[in-house]
Every structure is written in structure tokens, then in C-alpha cells.
Structure 1
Amino acid sequence: MESPSFTEIQKFTQWWLWALFGALVLLPLYGLYRQVVLEEPFGNNPMSDWGLVLFLLGMLAVPGFFAFIELRTEIDERGIRMRLRPISQESFPWDRIEKVEPITYGFVGYGLRFSFKHGTVYNIRGNKGLAIYLKDGGRFVVGTQDPDRLVTTLKALGKL
């Protein structure tokens, strides 16, 4: 029989975030249209055409980076592994963990954050997560979009 395991991959899929990125990209696109196609200066102190191209590339890099970010959580008989690609990764074997606890937390921000209450927080969206308390005093929280399956797996592993 196969040992219980939990794997979850989260990405930034919030509609409002991608709408904001779209708006940020529209500004240099409109500027390029005005200056290159209409041959009208864009603003009172217009940027060069190449400056607008570089600005556009910079604005495209931001959503490109967010599209690349991924929070991967794996829990099995060996322990807990979290990876916030491309920023950080942590691995905790069960013998380093004092206890785990499913929690609901307030807004702490997105990505990799530090919270005085929760320690290091890995969060892509929402307010549900797993608090991890290490024997050495370290504290972590990893967010989840599937708290019921997470709890079921932890119970099956005998960790709750």
C-alpha cells in the first residue's frame, strides 16, 4: 500500500493582479503608439522611442516574473518540503518538527514574508495554511488552497 502524500502547486491566478499588470503594460504601449505611429510626443517631457521600448520591456518583465513564480508543497512520510520558485526552498524531516497545525491567518502579503506571529510565511493567495513549529524554535507557515486534503493527509500520516 502506498504511503499517504500531499502535493500542491500554487501560482498567481488572481484576476485583479493580472488586470493591474495589463494596465501597467498599456501605458508604454500607448506612449509608443503616440510617438511612433502618430508621431506626437507622449507627455510634456517625452521619453525617446528607445526609452519607451525599454520601459515596455521592463513592464513586461514584471508579469513574466509573476507567471514564473510557483509555490510547491509536498508532504509525505519523509517530511515537509516547500519551494517558492525561484526564490526559496525549505525541507523539514519529521524528526526536526515539533508539531504542525492547520491555521487560518490574516493577510500577511504574497510570496515569501516574515511575520512576528507566524515566522516565515510562504503564501500565494488566501488565508489558510499549515503552521510548522520546529524543535529548534523555528516557525513557518505554508499557504494552501486545499486545507481539507492537507488535514486528511496529515491525519493519515499520524501527524495530527
Structure 2
Amino acid sequence: MKTIDFSEVQRFKIWWAWIAVTALNVLFMYAVMQQVFLGKPFGPKPAPDVVLIFIESLLLLFLLFLFSIKLKTHIDSTGIRYRFYPYQFKETYIEWHELKDAYIREYNSYFEYGGWGMRTGGIKFGKAINTSSSSDKGLQLQFNNGKLLLIGTSRPDEIKLIIDDVIASGKINRRV
């Protein structure tokens, strides 16, 4: 078996969410500048200064939160490690022998799992972890106990080669 060392870091890439949050930040930053620093009321019924500052602070925190979201995946000869920051405080490790099957598949994050992030698709689809990468492909893992986990990837071809190699080496015993 070849040496396996695959790492991928994906970030939150829903462009319309970035535009919406950034636009709101710009609007409230402008409101704070106008009303708090220049003394010009913002709008016909201006909110108190403290309210504008509070809302802008929340929007900035939310923007930082979006920026902090990332899915780290590492695959090596012993198994798969992943961490979905900031939701998981420590890395999850899956050894190859825990798996009944592993393969790349196309998925629809909205219809199968109800969106992006750490999601559950019920009994049929299992759990999913994705960041809305530019790809609609993921690494589908089927555990020996029947549970399912899908890890989104923007590099499916590379992972497929690794999984094929792991299966060929007998580390994953495909059972029907």
C-alpha cells in the first residue's frame, strides 16, 4: 500500500450569506458613524446610540464567526480524522476497521440534510458535515454498526484514489 497523507481545510463559502452579513455590517457601521461620532440622527426615528453599537457589535461577532468556520479533514494509513471548528473542540478519529464501506458520492446538502454544517438526514442519509464547498461531493462512510456519515470535500478525485487503495489493501472489508 502506498503512503497515504491527505489533508484538506474547507471554509464557509456561501456567497450570498457573506454578502448579506457584510452589507448589514456596512449599514450599521455607517449608522454608528453618522449618529454616534458625527451627531447626525440616523433615520426618521433614530435608535439610541447604545442600541446601534450593540447591533453592530453582534453583526461583527457574527461575521467573525462565519470566518472561523472550517472543516479540517486528514486521511492517513490508520484512518480518517476530522474537526468542524468551532463546533467540535477536539478532532474525531475513525479507524479503517470501524468502517464497512467508504466511497465518494454526489449529494444535495439542502434536500438530504436540510442545509450546511453539522447536520442529520435521519435514518436514510445519516449525519453530514459540510461547509458548502464548491463541490457537491462527499466521502460517504458506512460504519460496521450501520450508521452513516458524509464528510464534504472539494477534492473528491484525490480521496477516491486513497479509498480505492485502502479497500484494495483490505483495511475496509466491504460486506453486503
Same fold (TM > 0.5): yes
Which one is further off, 121-130 or 6-15? Answer: 6-15
Decide which of 115, 132, 140 is 1:131's aligned counterpart. 140
The share of aligned pairs that are identical, in percent, is: 31
Partner Cα distance (2:64, 2:100) in 1: 38
Q: Which residue among 140, 143, 152 is the counterpart of 2:152? A: 143
Task: Measure, in 2, the Cα distance between the counterparts of 1:103 and 1:29.
Answer: 43
Question: Which residue matches 1:118?
Answer: 125
* Counterpart-to-counterpart distance in 1, 2:153 and 2:36: 46
Match of 2:166 among 138, 142, 157: 157
Q: Any stretches of 5+ residues in structure 1 without a counterpart? A: none
Q: TM-score, normalised by structure 2?
A: 0.81
Aligned to 1:57: 57
Q: Matches of residues 29-48 of structure 1 in structure 2 within 5 Å?
A: 29-48=29-48
Matched, 1:102 2:104: yes
Q: CA deviation at 1:24?
A: 1.6
Q: Which runs of 5+ in 2 are unaligned?
A: none
Deviation of 1:38 (Å): 4.7
Q: CA RMSD in A?
A: 2.1
> Matched residues in 2 for 1:45 and 1:57: separation?
21
Equivalent in the alignment of 2:72: 72
Q: C-alpha displacement at 1:91, in angstroms?
A: 1.7
Deviation at 1:133, TM superposition (A): 0.7
**Amino acid of the structure 2 residue aligned with 1:83:** R
Whichever residue aligns with residue 118 of structure 1, its letter is: F
